[in-house]
Structure 1
Amino acid sequence: MSATDVTYRAATELAKMLAAGQISASELLDEHLARVRKFNPAVNAVVALDEEGARKAARAADEARARDAALGPLHGLSMTIKDTFEVTGMTATCGLEELRDYRPAADAEAVARLRAAGAIVFGKTNLPPAAADHQSCNPVFGLTRNPWNVERTVGGSSGGSAAALAAGFTPLELGSDIGGSIRVPAHFCGVYGHKPSHGMVPLEGHIPPPPGHLSQPELGVAGPLARSAFDLELMLDIITAAPELKRTAFRIDLPPARRSNLSDFRVAVWNDASAYPVDSAYAATIDALVEDLRRFGVRVVTAARPAIDPAQSFRIYMQTLFGIIGAGFPPPVREAIVAGGRTAPEGSYPRMVADAVGQSLAEFAAAAEQREHLFRVWRDFFTRYDVLLCPITPTVAFPHDVARLDMAAQFDRRIVVNGKATPYMDNLMWPGLVTVANLPATAIPTRRLVDGLPAGLQIVGPYLEDRTTLKFAQLLEREFGGFMLPPL
């Protein structure tokens, strides 16, 4: 078996190989480190290593295996972690110059749960500054390049995570998502990602907010990325837990998937540009997958929509998102954003962001009430359908545009949709449709390319029915295939 064969195996398969003694934890770690040394210079996905600590943990894992000790489901599996999470033995920078030398004293809770399950964390992966962009470039570690085409973005903010998976550096990754930060990189790099229902995975030890903060933000989640939908569920089961102060009485017990056979799913598809932009070449990849489903006998409805106003839903999302983000800005930055945006045209992105950053508590509370109504509309929609398939962004991975990395640069950037320049921040529309309603979404590759780049879609499901979207993704993978190797 070649090194490439090993490093591109699914996590579930590697766990079985480790359990059967077909490979040791130390050998697997060596394979991953060797691949990082060989290929990472071209993509810059892995930006920090704890080789000494990982080798020590791998030796201990092999010794425990030899003793036939009680072992966790990831015992001996080497992996990387997004640099938003605190991990002992390495810095936790979140791409920020002021955190360049910050070394946490404890693991983030989700990381600790992975280690308790036997995972061996050997590296950190790249992201944008403050995890706040759909490209992964920062002043600490520089630019991450897409293994499919180094001239294209890997997405963000879990861009290094997705690139590391696509390049065979790691079998699993822990990412986070508030603006598509798991789903967009999975889409751009041709891997799998799962944005859990809000509140399922502890965020203690995630940056932002700054180190030491304990409050859990609205909208934000942590979740798995992998090269298989089966691996997503394996990891999700490990990191899911009730909030720390509620564990005396609370536990999270996700219901089983609604269906066990692909042909039994009731599938809705939202794949047109009437509400949010989508490039026709990208939309065609989703349409082709829909035709595969129909030929398989799956009931698919392309005109089904939840009874929401998409424009209003997006406004509520932006108000909530930038209300949260803006609260973390230093006062001078916050004041500059508000002053600069309040003179911008109504409905423009500078104006939306300024209004959200400068909103009152009463305005934020009013948006929270509107979200409660959205929750119930979506709940009603999912009484008639099991999953909704839709795009993740308007396009596939676009060319790097990182001459400026400040927030205002995102107002000026453009992406090309159907040959026309479109505001860069339209990338938030399709992810925001899901995030504003706290819904789970599993990002999967369609196994179709646009100009040589992978195209994914998101499988959206009912709140706290994450196993339904995961099961649908797993059945698709089993019937039609999954991850494809990039030309790295």
Structure 2
Amino acid sequence: MNPCDLSAMEARRLMASKKLSAVELAESCIARAEAVNPAVNALVAQDFTAMRTAAVAAQKAIDRGDKLGILHGLPLCVKDMVDVTGLPTTFGSEIYADNIAKSDDSMVAQLRTEGALVMGKANNPEWSAGGNTRNAVYGVTANPFDLTRSAAGSSGGSAVAVACGMTPLATGSDTGGSLRSPAAFCGVVGFRTTPGVVPGHSRPLGWMPMSLNGPMARTVDDVSLMLSAMIRPDRRDPWVTVINDQAVLDPGPFRHLPGYDLCRARVAFTHDFGFAMTERMIAESFHNKLSRFGHVFGQFDEAHPDCLEADDTFAVIRALAFSGHHRELLQQYPDKVGPNVRENVKEGEGYSALDVVRALTNQTRLYRQWQLFFEQYDFVLAPTTTISPRNWHELYPSEIDGEPTQSYYHWLSMAYASTLAGHPSVTLPTGRDANGMPFGLQIIGRRGSDLQTLAFARELETLFAGDVELQRPKVDLDYLSRARPLSEAEGFLGFA
């Protein structure tokens, strides 16, 4: 096995025991990126020279017997919404195409402190607006399982880089599924935490924790390990509880997940939460998969929390979040703002203060209904996405099974249901759908039960490993290495 294909946990163990060097791991990841990135366009800015220098330093620390960070020597890709010193931060926007970061974002600085080696920046849609990773700066990122299909978004570059073995770890962010949807499309693990677990002080509307940073990796253990390095006290995020300069949440247990007794779990399942436009094929794939493992739980019922008015509630709150800074950009640079951002700004301008009050009131009611529901159940299982990956030339799904969608983000409704309620949600690769593309199983836990949610997901991951219909699908690297550069494809750059 190439070092770049090792899990982060295994690579970290081998480095600590001096059976693998940090330099060997770094060189393996660089070689993989050079071999397959032209086909998928996931990594859009990199500094391999700096990474090699950092890897040499990391190995010297191991050789000296220094105290090592929990991510020591592990390569990391960072979504292009977050600053990394000396690398571009474009946000996928032409307006910031020449913007070079002068310092690390505090999240990146924390991950470096724990020993991570930053490899480069991963692609995302313009301002992370959309479930298809394409923009006018770097172009589109393709799905590694089928280069004609979408990698989803907005953390599509991160998901593809992880799936292809360019890196064991990557950062992402999630509003309505931006971590979970690309993880599902690309056969990796993505985790949206309870608000306040991972600080995010760059949110313009800090009191509205819709957009959250989070980890992405190929296994649940790796996601949990990375999450433990992201938990930190940061009073700039009003949702992070800090007492005596310490984060209330202890990161320690996330480094070695506890076991979870599946036969005692009370589990509900739904293919649509009562409102989502789930594609028939996805619903059928979901129920077929449940038939292979649903019997292991102590209780397993088809049920879901009340999600009345979820579409309208999410639409108003999302538009509110987009209506400030992005409205100013549209006014100043009307020819450099793409269609998704333009649509969100226009939508936001159409809402009144009473619309916002209605949405926030509905969100509060939805939240309380979810808390009542989770008195009866420990977890909810659902498909992560409403559709199977489609051709990336389609900017967003305008219809599902012949029914028109309401907006460019409407197809993400399976993910934003739990966003509105503020519950932790992890996407677990669960075989393939009927189209042969990766299928993502969404596991939603109680609010604040992030550790238990990951522990439960890890038990399912272990269970699935022995079933060819449920285990994580692997990318065909030969297919990618033989493919022509994605940049040569018609429609690669921009939104048309």
Give the TM-score category using the shorter length: 0.7 to 0.9
Asked whether the 8 Å contact 2:326–2:345 carries over to 1, the reply is no
Q: 360-369 or 267-276: which moved more?
A: 360-369
User: If the length of structure 2 is used for normalisation, what is the TM-score?
Assistant: 0.85
Aligned pair partner of 1:435 in 393, 414, 419: 419
The separation in 1 between residues aligned to 2:270 and 2:323, in whole angstroms, is 31
**Unmatched tracts of structure 2, length 5 or more:** 335-341, 466-470, 478-496
Matched, 1:456 2:448: no
Q: CA RMSD in A?
A: 2.7
Partner in structure 1 of residue 242 of structure 2? 247
Distance 1:214 1:122, change over 3 A: farther
State the one-letter code of the partner of 2:242: R
**1:233-252 deviation digits (Å, cap 9, x = unpaired):** 11111102343256354623
Partner in structure 1 of residue 472 of structure 2? 483
Aligned pair partner of 2:173 in 152, 173, 176: 176
Partner in structure 1 of residue 323 of structure 2? 326
Asked whether the 8 Å contact 2:322–2:344 carries over to 1, the reply is no
Offset at residue 118 of structure 1 (A)? 0.6
Matched, 1:164 2:161: yes
Distance 1:297 1:118, change over 3 A: same
Asked whether the 8 Å contact 1:259–1:265 carries over to 2, the reply is no
Asked whether the 8 Å contact 2:272–2:414 carries over to 1, the reply is no
**1:383-412 deviation digits (Å, cap 9, x = unpaired):** 11001011222111111135xxxxxx75xx
Offset at residue 155 of structure 1 (A)? 0.5
Offset at residue 152 of structure 1 (A)? 0.2
The separation in 1 between residues aligned to 2:329 and 2:61, in whole angstroms, is 53
Asked whether the 8 Å contact 1:290–1:300 carries over to 2, the reply is no
Offset at residue 289 of structure 1 (A)? 2.7
Q: 3-state SS of the aligned residue for 2:92?
A: coil
Q: 327-336 or 46-55: which moved more?
A: 327-336
Offset at residue 336 of structure 1 (A)? 13
Asked whether the 8 Å contact 1:327–1:357 carries over to 2, the reply is no
Asked whether the 8 Å contact 1:108–1:203 carries over to 2, the reply is no
Q: 3-state SS of the aligned residue for 1:430?
A: helix
Q: Number of paired residues?
A: 456
Aligned pair partner of 1:142 in 136, 139, 142: 139
The separation in 2 between residues aligned to 1:57 and 1:184, in whole angstroms, is 32
**1:75-103 deviation digits (Å, cap 9, x = unpaired):** 11112111111111311111111212212
Distance 1:282 1:20, change over 3 A: same
Offset at residue 478 of structure 1 (A)? 0.8
Partner in structure 1 of residue 47 of structure 2? 50
Asked whether the 8 Å contact 2:85–2:103 carries over to 1, the reply is yes
Q: Percent identity?
A: 33
State the one-letter code of the partner of 2:94: E
Asked whether the 8 Å contact 1:95–1:141 carries over to 2, the reply is yes
Partner in structure 2 of residue 300 of structure 1? 300
Aligned pair partner of 1:376 in 368, 373, 378: 368
The separation in 2 between residues aligned to 1:107 and 1:352, in whole angstroms, is 29
State the one-letter code of the partner of 1:49: Q
Matched, 1:36 2:25: no
List aligned pairs for 1:12-411, cutoff 5 A. Answer: 12-204=9-201, 215=206, 217-245=208-236, 247-249=242-244, 251-253=247-249, 260-272=260-272, 274-302=274-302, 304-309=303-308, 312-331=309-328, 333=330, 354=346, 356-361=348-353, 363-401=355-393
Offset at residue 29 of structure 1 (A)? 0.5
